[in-house]
Chain A
Amino acid sequence: MKYVSEFQDRNAVQYLAASIRERVAGKDLTIMEVCGTHTMAIARSGLRELLPDQLTLISGPGCPVCVTDVSYIDRAIALSRMHGTVIATFGDLMRVPGSDSTLEKERANGADIRIVTSAMDALFMAGQKAGQRVIFLGIGFETTIPTVGVVIQSAKSRHIRNFYVLSSHKIMPPAMKALCEGDVRIDGFLCPGHVSTITGPAIYDDIVKQYGKGCVVTGFEPTDILSGILMLSKQILAKTPAVENQYKRAVLPDGNPRAKEVMDEVFESCDTPWRGLGTIPASGLKIRDAYASWDASVQIAVPVKESREPHGCRCGDVLTGRIQPEACPLFGNPCTPDYPAGACMVSSEGTCAAHYKYGFHRK
């Protein structure tokens, strides 16, 4: 078993899509796929074409690059301009617009900014660059946070003193709750599979209890997504909201206990700003005092001007499901993946990028 192609079976896809159409006929449902990887998978596989018109899928705030606040980018840029500093970042952040520059532009102007695919690579870099400081831009949800935690622990145990993390890590449930309190209709959530791989499905219990919305933890292959939508539709129509797990092969009831332990040991809860959603209480994770020596926000003071959102960009409305990207006046002209005006057009998991790339018009 390769755990990929088997879950793309055409017959099963047809069967599941037909079951959804049959069930939803004459009803009217709105489901939010929270996770950017779901948005991308749905766009790429053309699943939307198989779904009935009455079933509206809206994209949520689950793309870490897209919800990174402008002020964070501005701070990263300010740090990159400091002497003796190397910035290590996931590639997606390079082109996210700050108030008046991007990391990509700063690199073209001579800043030492390196793309890494793992926080561990940034730590190795620090080991090789004595005399310089390496700052890793730590963004991401529960999926990524334990990996950064392991790296910070390694920095401590190996006494690497020139490595820092600028943490803007975020956790998913508070943002979902904020959406439940908002004015956008959501009948149920397709919950992010790989966040849940770490946490287990229980983190969504409150959303069911407090807001009566169904939550189905869902995988990323076409049969997974359709099964998830079918399970959720059944719940919504029967008015029996619950937390269900479609993605059992990767999401165990307790998640990954080791990863949760690391996350808890290195990070603690804080309020944090989300692009488009504003500051959400207890939705962020900051580095604990015991690891403050590796916390860039504690160790490196740098003046940052007041931030401003890119003019005219409606990422905030896209991230909350209020509008589809095509409704943004900048969509496609001038905002494209090559010249993004907003963060949602930058990351391959961004809703605007998915819409642009696959040119589909949502139903």
Chain B
Amino acid sequence: MCLAVPMRIVKIDGNSAVAEAGEISQTIDIQLVPSIQLNDYVIVHAGFAIQKMDESYAREALELFEEMGRIS
């Protein structure tokens, strides 16, 4: 029940939105993340968006991994 996964917002309609991840598409409630916009990635848990993913931190981590890949 604790599962929370990143999904992309493809449609917004008031307090709800449609979010997608791969083949899965789901209607979610977005009241907990007021600043949501189309194409944002959010973490979805129990039918709710609970946070927006931060792209700059994600890139930072990935760059580090790339570097690790080069040295390993």
Q: Residues of A with Cβ closer than 8 Å to B? A: 1-4, 6-7, 9, 11-12, 14-16, 18, 35-37, 62-65, 90-92, 117-121, 139-141, 143-144, 146-147, 150, 194, 197-198, 223, 227, 248-252, 256, 258-259, 262, 347, 349
Contact = CB atoms under 8 A, between A and B. Distances in A.
Given A4-B6, A92-B1, A146-B50, A197 B43 contact: yes
Contacts of B1: 64-65, 90-92, 139-140, 144, 347, 349
B2 A259 contact: no
B51 A250 contact: yes
25 contacts: A1-B55, A1-B58, A2-B6, A3-B58, A7-B65, A11-B68, A12-B65, A15-B68, A15-B69, A18-B72, A37-B2, A62-B2, A63-B2, A120-B47, A121-B47, A140-B2, A143-B2, A144-B46, A150-B29, A197-B4, A248-B57, A249-B58, A250-B43, A250-B53, A349-B1
Interface of B: 1-6, 8, 21, 29, 31-34, 41, 43, 45-48, 50-51, 53-55, 57-62, 65-66, 68-69, 71-72
A59 to B, nearest CB: 13
Contacts of B58: 1, 3, 6, 249
A117 B2 contact: no
B56 to A, nearest CB: 9
B50 A249 contact: no
Contacts, number: 140
B50 A37 contact: no
Nearest to A259: B32
B20 to A, nearest CB: 10
A349 B26 CA distance: 22
Contacts of A9: 65, 69
B10 to A, nearest CB: 14
A4 B4 CA distance: 12
A337 to B, nearest CB: 15
B31 A150 contact: yes
Contacts of B65: 6-7, 9, 11-12, 223
Nearest to A90: B1
Contacts of A16: 68
Q: 9 closest A-B pairs (Cβ-Cβ)?
A: A118-B47, A11-B69, A12-B65, A15-B72, A248-B57, A3-B6, A15-B68, A249-B58, A90-B1
A119 B29 CA distance: 11
Given A1-B59, A12-B66, 5 more contacts: A18-B72, A117-B46, A139-B1, A144-B45, A147-B47
Contacts of A258: 31-34
A119 B47 contact: yes
Given A16-B68, A256-B33, A147 B53 contact: no
B68 to A, nearest CB: 4
Contacts of B45: 143-144, 147, 194
Nearest to A260: B32
A264 to B, nearest CB: 13
Contacts of B55: 1, 249
Nearest to B70: A11
A249 B68 contact: no
Contacts of B5: 4
B43 A194 contact: yes
Contacts of A349: 1-2
B7 to A, nearest CB: 9
A227 B57 CA distance: 14
Given A140-B1, A256-B33, A3 B41 contact: yes
